[in-house]
Chain A
Amino acid sequence: MTIACILLAFATFAQKSNSKTEQDYYEIKTLPIPKEIYLEVGGLATMPDGRLAVSTRRGEIWIIENPYQTVNHQVHYKRFASGMHEVLGLAYRDGAFYCSQRGELTKITDTNRDGVADLYEPIYQFDLSGNYHEYTYGPVFDKNGDMLVTLNLAWVGFGEGKFAKWRGWLVKIHPNGTLEPFAAGLRSPAGYSINQDGDIFYGENQGDWVGSGRVTHLAKGDFAGNPGGLKWAKEPNSPFRLTLEEIQDNGAPMYEAAAKVKNLKLPAVWFPHAIMGISTSDILQDTTRGKFSPFPGQYFVADQGQSKIMRMGLEKVNGVYQGFCINYREGFQSGILRERFGLDGSMFVGMTSRGWGSTGKDEFGLQRLMWNGQMPFEIQDIQAKPDGFELSFTQAVDVNSVKKAASYALRSYIYKYQHQYGSPIIELKNLKITGVEVSADKRKVRLVIEGLRRYFIHEFKLEGIRNEAGEPLLHETAYYTLNQIPSGGKLAVQATHRLEEAAVVKAVAVRPTKKSAVISDAEAMALLKKHTCLACHAKESKVVGPSYADIAKRNYTDKQILALVYKPNPQNWPDYATEMAPMSHVPAADVLKIASWINGLRNKALLNHD
């Protein structure tokens, strides 16, 4: 038995080390930036003439020639406009630029065509209180030529919209300069876009009233959950009426509140905090017909803090958008704020991390993401079924692996809806697969699941699934938000659908020989990566959160660390911009191992210094 264990462990190890990585399929190209330019990207606009325009937090618009770097790697920057106030959105239309400054939606024109703007016209002037957190994003043009703009809440220890009009709203600005309030309940709506069907989606950051990052479909009159801007629902032109008092604040999940508040819109997809990003930003539907990715029609959701791009697949069930999210590509140079497709189907990725922090170490950056045409083994799609889900894959699966119970770990959970910042995971439940059916082409696997819960996040860990070459999935974990359970035929589960309950599952667990032994750096790193701690922390250096070495200096006991991991106290680290999310889903045994490793760093430091 011992020998078998070792062999198995070895086999797993060998396989992992040979496995493919994201960069084998999804390539990142860097556009060099001259040293004197602070290209803190707030907006991107692809121009039809092959140029790229970039707006910055320092209020400039740069036009870049040769951004596709087809022959020469060098790109050429020309400052087109300047002097604006934190330009966090840019669009190009009919020879003019449209951008949002903090206090203004501005049209910028180069009337004498000398390459430098000479006319700055306000289309709309936004109200501001002077609070720095009242960011303004956009515009995004809809098919009628109206401009969508989102208005961030102020920050006064919580998100507050009452100081300046329409804060916390998505508004439509008509070309004649009139404002049409469209949807409310927004907290920090840095990224939003319109899909091919004309529907609007926006990404939200975890925060007060927002248990975790999420993408929400906004129709007119929707209220997306944060009541900071509800003061303006009293205005005569508000598309709905709602007051803070009508919203429950008892920590129950959002769907319970939505049962009582008609306009409260549930997210189409939850992005579990710290796992699928910490600060959702831009959203872009792949409209490149297969040039950008193997997933045409799906959505690519960026994350500022974790410097990565995730993939989101949507379906409409009973007329309601819902779907899944899964990692796509990490390792960008700074915090991603903007995504735009280039003319060649690659994606320009614009970044800034000043004041916000990000896993990517650079202060700002501009990169391009492109698929090299090699087909990775990935989950293609997840669709809800009356009795479970149907997963489809980019390649035929190894039927044996699909039939093993040990290949799957499924569970579901949800977040609190409350005025406090963030939420722990609540109502966590493991799920049992009672039947599996593989399609004839081996590209689709239907799972019959016991204990589906409407509205809940359903986590799929497909660690054991292999393709016919024996390779694991490039990304094995996906999260489906089940707002609606479709009606229709259920699978009649027969003997052929049953999974093999293999004994090997238990054998994988390896117990440390000595309980008191502190785990090695390598073991610690594996655990930290597994539980996504490394997205925000590093051993020695400050990332989004403090380094483990700095945490060690606080002299917490292992148990105190455990308590703080489960229930962080952001006041402990006032110098860090991003608050830590409760990580109560990480098993206590793992946290304690990590804690003793952290405290070991302190001892090492002392030894070295003595």
Chain B
Amino acid sequence: MRNILLLTLLSWTCLAQEHVNLKDLAAFQHPSNNWTIEGAVQAAYSDTSLQVATGQGILVNTLRNGKYKRSDDLIFAFSHGDIHLMFDFMLPKKGNSGVYLQGRYEVQLADSWTKKQLNFGDCGGIYERWDDARGKGNEGYEGYAPMQNASKAPGLWQHMEIDFQAPRFDANGKKIQNAIFKKVILNGILIHENLEMLGVTRGAVSLQEVASAPILIQGDHTQVAFKNIQYETYDKPSVSMGPIKYDYYTGKFTEPIIGSAKPVESGKLDKLTYKVIKAKNDYLIHYQADLDVPETDTYEFQSYWTGSGVVKVDGKELNQGAHWYSEMVSSKTELTAGKHKLEVIHVKDFPWGPQALGLYVKRIGSHPVALHERTSLLDPEAVGMIEVKANAEPVFQRSFAMHQGKKKTHVIHVGDPSGMHYSYDLKQGALLQVWRGPFLNATQMWENRGEPQTSEPLGVTVTLDGKFPLILDHQAQADSTELVYKGFRVKDGRPIFMYHWPAGNVMVEDFIRPNAANTGLERTFSFKSASSIQSASELVLGNSYHGISSINATLIGLQGQSYFVQWDGRIGAILTPKQGLKQQRIPVQGNEVSYQLIW
């Protein structure tokens, strides 16, 4: 299980390598004056326009022209074929824009916040195609809704990641392979995977598909802002390998060391494969080949094997050791242009475990090159998901949960038919995370022995600080608070958590439920004690390492505007408990205090 997880994660970790410079508009072709570079933008979730502040780093469509002109679309200066593109974007309420890969295949950006029924025109949708010849009312066809609604509220920064493969053409310019959205990930949620484009989507710059063309951002509908635009394209040449000479040895090799052994068989291969031999174990195979390196650069060698092995280039050991086939072993090395000597030794001295040998070379700016036959490396095993649903009524489920890299053991996840859910640390009376979408993936807890015993959110998640938010007046918020957990009572299917808070000498009830507008969760602390709350206390509304945006008297944006906190407007204070950390507090008065989390 652990191994399977590793493999799945790998494909997500390759980072885009080029940053689009947003100190000015030089990265774009003839930008209209709708587009400006700004230093900050913000909006309340109910605002239909963005407030901007001058500076650098943010690309904003201010919609100054106000009226549709094709020239308001923003075209990037560079052209691309295959591309891995990532960016942050912010929409106002009812915002609408889109990113056209190669100017032709649109991933829709739109305010689809809290929508239940989605179509191709919702955020993350692949827009429909259009053909007037199909007749009135039937022009639109195809188009793909995202697999789930992964939108955040207007006025929050959202994150998009697109892995796009350009169409392929033969020498005569005939298309031989459709364009493919290999992955589209919105706010951490996979919304499309390996979706083939049978043609360009509506509003493309041309009906003609091509190998290379620039990105286009739709600029005519509403305001929209972008930042952190990064990408990797794959047009650099990479390594190629000459014929392989292999030598096969039998015997009990525990290390990839040939010693004085004599090969029982030798021969030539085009690609690495263990399948050249019949033995299942107790063998050593030594592969040698020339590696043609086109340009001097850093090359990463990613190997997989069951057993033990070594990868050497020009006699220098790169990857080595005993591993299971699902573990990637990786090292980077600087190679000069020209021929290099590649050596791989693979041994397997035990009968269990699948045979496997794989080796990829990855250069930034080019796709990984497999030096092995496909059949020499197994596909990882997939396990069907065990989902806990909260469609009909509120649901709660305890499990372990990861929070900021640590495993928490006394966690309850609470799901709600509104689609807004949270994880809560029962020991600390603390919110760990909130999310919107389907409820809970319990596979890692309920499949087989469930060795991780964790479960994970299935929707767009905001990670919170995991701390008890009540503190005595003017005291610092501790990482952990002494609390006596008294259990929870269930009201209309939802738990109300009960604590004795010794510092305040008071019984506290913590009730989290959807707010009246169903736009977020409302958290209410009430104090159940004959003497009520004894000392002056404060409520920490949030901690943020990326500043606090005060949007209006009752609304702030936290953690780089990744979520909102709203409250009744009582006057609070923003503190700086330590370098880089901002903390919003409000005073506690009476027997009850509440705030809302909106994302």
Residues of chain A touching chain B, judged by Cβ–Cβ distance below 8 Å, are 57-59, 82-86, 101-104, 106-107, 111, 116-122, 125, 128-130, 132, 354-356, 554-555, 571-574, 577
What's the Cα separation between A101 and B398 when bound, in Å? 9
Q: Are A132 and B450 in contact (CB under 8 A)?
A: yes
What's the Cα separation between A573 and B352 when bound, in Å? 6
Given contacts A117-B490, A554-B351, contact A104 B453 (CB under 8 A): no
Q: In this complex, what residue of B is CB-closest to A106? A: B487
Q: What are 24 A-to-B residue pairs whose CB atoms are below 8 Å?
A: A82-B397, A83-B412, A85-B453, A102-B409, A103-B398, A104-B410, A107-B487, A117-B490, A118-B491, A119-B487, A122-B485, A122-B486, A125-B410, A128-B409, A128-B410, A129-B409, A130-B407, A132-B451, A132-B452, A355-B448, A355-B450, A554-B351, A571-B350, A572-B350
Pairs A-B, 5 closest by C-beta atoms: A355-B449, A121-B487, A85-B398, A128-B409, A83-B396
In the complex, chain A residues whose CB is within 8 Å of the CB of B353: 574
B457-506, CB < 8 A from A: 485-491, 495
Q: Are B448 and A119 in contact (CB under 8 A)?
A: no
A538 CB, min distance to chain B CBs, angstroms: 20
Q: Are B398 and A59 in contact (CB under 8 A)?
A: yes
Q: Are A83 and B398 in contact (CB under 8 A)?
A: yes
In the complex, chain A residues whose CB is within 8 Å of the CB of B491: 118
Q: In this complex, what residue of A is CB-closest to B400? A: A130
Given contacts A104-B410, A130-B453, contact A119 B490 (CB under 8 A): yes
Residue B427, interface by CB 8 Å: yes
What's the Cα separation between A116 and B490 when bound, in Å? 10
B452 CB, min distance to chain A CBs, angstroms: 7
Q: B296-321 interface mask toward A, CB cutoff 8 Å, 1 = contact, 0 = none? A: 00000000000000000000000000
Residue B446, interface by CB 8 Å: yes
Given contacts A83-B396, A573-B352, A574-B353, contact A125 B485 (CB under 8 A): yes
In the complex, chain A residues whose CB is within 8 Å of the CB of B584: none
In the complex, chain A residues whose CB is within 8 Å of the CB of B407: 130
What's the Cα separation between A68 and B458 when bound, in Å? 41
A575 CB, min distance to chain B CBs, angstroms: 8
In the complex, chain B residues whose CB is within 8 Å of the CB of A104: 410
Q: Are A119 and B489 in contact (CB under 8 A)?
A: yes
What's the Cα separation between A170 and B409 when bound, in Å? 21
What's the Cα separation between A20 and B15 when bound, in Å? 71
The residue that A130 contacts in the complex, of B396, B397, B409, B490, with Cβ under 8 A, is: B409
Q: Are A132 and B486 in contact (CB under 8 A)?
A: no
A218 CB, min distance to chain B CBs, angstroms: 27
Residue B395, interface by CB 8 Å: yes
In the complex, chain B residues whose CB is within 8 Å of the CB of A572: 350-352
B485 CB, min distance to chain A CBs, angstroms: 6
B399 CB, min distance to chain A CBs, angstroms: 6
B436 CB, min distance to chain A CBs, angstroms: 20
In the complex, chain B residues whose CB is within 8 Å of the CB of A59: 397-398
Q: Are A58 and B446 in contact (CB under 8 A)?
A: yes
What's the Cα separation between A407 and B312 when bound, in Å? 70
Q: In this complex, what residue of B is CB-closest to A111? A: B489
What's the Cα separation between A571 and B353 when bound, in Å? 10
B429-457, CB < 8 A from A: 446, 448-453
Q: In this complex, what residue of B is CB-closest to A577? A: B449
B392-436, CB < 8 A from A: 395-400, 407, 409-410, 412, 427
What's the Cα separation between A355 and B453 when bound, in Å? 13
Q: Are B448 and A125 in contact (CB under 8 A)?
A: no
In the complex, chain B residues whose CB is within 8 Å of the CB of A111: 489
Q: In this complex, what residue of B is CB-closest to A104? A: B410
Given contacts A85-B398, A572-B350, 9 further A-B pairs with CB under 8 A are A103-B410, A120-B487, A120-B490, A120-B495, A121-B486, A125-B485, A130-B407, A132-B450, A571-B352
B572 CB, min distance to chain A CBs, angstroms: 33
Q: Are B487 and A122 in contact (CB under 8 A)?
A: yes
A27 CB, min distance to chain B CBs, angstroms: 33
The residue that A85 contacts in the complex, of B399, B485, B490, with Cβ under 8 A, is: B399
In the complex, chain B residues whose CB is within 8 Å of the CB of A577: 449
What's the Cα separation between A82 and B395 when bound, in Å? 8
Q: Are B399 and A82 in contact (CB under 8 A)?
A: no
What's the Cα separation between A479 and B591 when bound, in Å? 67
Q: Are A83 and B397 in contact (CB under 8 A)?
A: yes
What's the Cα separation between A125 and B427 when bound, in Å? 9
Q: In this complex, what residue of B is CB-closest to A110? A: B490
A314 CB, min distance to chain B CBs, angstroms: 33
In the complex, chain B residues whose CB is within 8 Å of the CB of A118: 489-491
A123 CB, min distance to chain B CBs, angstroms: 9
A426 CB, min distance to chain B CBs, angstroms: 28
The residue that A82 contacts in the complex, of B352, B396, B409, with Cβ under 8 A, is: B396
A552 CB, min distance to chain B CBs, angstroms: 13
A572 CB, min distance to chain B CBs, angstroms: 5
In the complex, chain B residues whose CB is within 8 Å of the CB of A86: 453
In the complex, chain B residues whose CB is within 8 Å of the CB of A356: 449
In the complex, chain B residues whose CB is within 8 Å of the CB of A119: 487-490
B321 CB, min distance to chain A CBs, angstroms: 17
Q: In this complex, what residue of A is CB-closest to B408? A: A130
A591 CB, min distance to chain B CBs, angstroms: 19
Q: In this complex, what residue of A is CB-closest to B450? A: A132
A553 CB, min distance to chain B CBs, angstroms: 9
What's the Cα separation between A574 and B350 when bound, in Å? 12
What's the Cα separation between A188 and B121 when bound, in Å? 56
Q: In this complex, what residue of B is CB-closest to A38? A: B446
The residue that A102 contacts in the complex, of B352, B395, B453, B486, with Cβ under 8 A, is: B453
What's the Cα separation between A42 and B512 when bound, in Å? 30
In the complex, chain B residues whose CB is within 8 Å of the CB of A125: 410, 427, 485
B484-533, CB < 8 A from A: 485-491, 495
In the complex, chain B residues whose CB is within 8 Å of the CB of A130: 400, 407, 409, 453
In the complex, chain A residues whose CB is within 8 Å of the CB of B352: 571-574
In the complex, chain A residues whose CB is within 8 Å of the CB of B448: 354-355
What's the Cα separation between A82 and B487 when bound, in Å? 14
What's the Cα separation between A355 and B1 when bound, in Å? 12
In the complex, chain B residues whose CB is within 8 Å of the CB of A555: 280, 351
In the complex, chain B residues whose CB is within 8 Å of the CB of A84: 398
In the complex, chain A residues whose CB is within 8 Å of the CB of B446: 57-58, 354
Q: In this complex, what residue of B is CB-closest to A118? A: B490
What's the Cα separation between A130 and B451 when bound, in Å? 9
A162 CB, min distance to chain B CBs, angstroms: 16
What's the Cα separation between A121 and B486 when bound, in Å? 6
In the complex, chain A residues whose CB is within 8 Å of the CB of B490: 116-120
What's the Cα separation between A107 and B399 when bound, in Å? 18
In the complex, chain A residues whose CB is within 8 Å of the CB of B410: 103-104, 125, 128
Given contacts A122-B487, A125-B410, contact A132 B449 (CB under 8 A): yes
What's the Cα separation between A555 and B451 when bound, in Å? 32
B30 CB, min distance to chain A CBs, angstroms: 56
Q: In this complex, what residue of B is CB-closest to A177? A: B484
In the complex, chain A residues whose CB is within 8 Å of the CB of B485: 122, 125
Q: B310-354 interface mask toward A, CB cutoff 8 Å, 1 = contact, 0 = none? A: 000000000000000000000000000000000000000011110
What's the Cα separation between A120 and B399 when bound, in Å? 16
B213-266, CB < 8 A from A: none
In the complex, chain B residues whose CB is within 8 Å of the CB of A122: 485-487
B563 CB, min distance to chain A CBs, angstroms: 25
What's the Cα separation between A571 and B451 when bound, in Å? 18
A529 CB, min distance to chain B CBs, angstroms: 27
What's the Cα separation between A132 and B427 when bound, in Å? 19
What's the Cα separation between A57 and B409 when bound, in Å? 16
What's the Cα separation between A103 and B410 when bound, in Å? 6
What's the Cα separation between A128 and B427 when bound, in Å? 12
What's the Cα separation between A117 and B493 when bound, in Å? 10
In the complex, chain A residues whose CB is within 8 Å of the CB of B488: 119-120
